[in-house]
Amino acid sequence: MKNTFISSNTSLQSQWFIFDANEECLGRLATKVAIILQGKNKNFYNPAQNIGDFVIIINAEKIKVTGKKNLQKNYMRHSGRPGGKKLENFEQLHIRLPERILEKAIKGMLPKNKLGRRLFTKLKVYAGESHPHKAQKPQMI
């Protein structure tokens, strides 16, 4: 018996999508991207397989949050050394590395295992308008 899922390579090829984060809400954009990275938008979704698509996010510096999150939302990182814990709020991280905000939000929505780490490599985030992936012909969403 022939399995049509395995034999049809055209449906397994990854596509490239591009999101514009200009004036988008952080959490709403992150959930849309996480769904596409995991492949949950496809009709043959399997949680144990890497069938998701590549996602490019541009204008990460223009992302917005609601309420007082720009002052109250904290991001933690650790150097790995004793006493190496660093805390930053949203505004400070937005000035220093605006791409990191979206990366952390999306990474938190992916599975916490090898598959999640592999899915995260399919995410490309850029602070400005330009990106080096024009040859992949990404579709605008």
Superfamily the domain 15-64+98-140 falls into: Ribosomal protein L13 (3.90.1180.10)
Q: CA-CA distance, 67 to 31, in Å (whole number)?
A: 19
CB 55 within 8 A of CB 33: yes
Q: Could you tell me the residue ranges of all domains in the chain?
A: 15-64+98-140
| pTM of the predicted structure, to 2 decimals | 0.87
CA distances in angstroms from 125 to 44, 62, 72, listed in the order given: 27, 12, 24
For the chain, give the longest Cα–Cα distance. 60
Name residues whose C-beta falls within 8 Å of residue 130's C-beta, 6 or more positions apart in sequence: 58
Higher local confidence (pLDDT), 6 or 23: 23
Number of Cβ within a 10 Å radius of residue 24: 19
pLDDT digits (tens, 9 = 90+) for 90-133: 999 999 999 999 999 999 999 999 999 999 999 999 999 999 99
Q: CA-CA distance, 141 to 139, in Å (whole number)?
A: 6
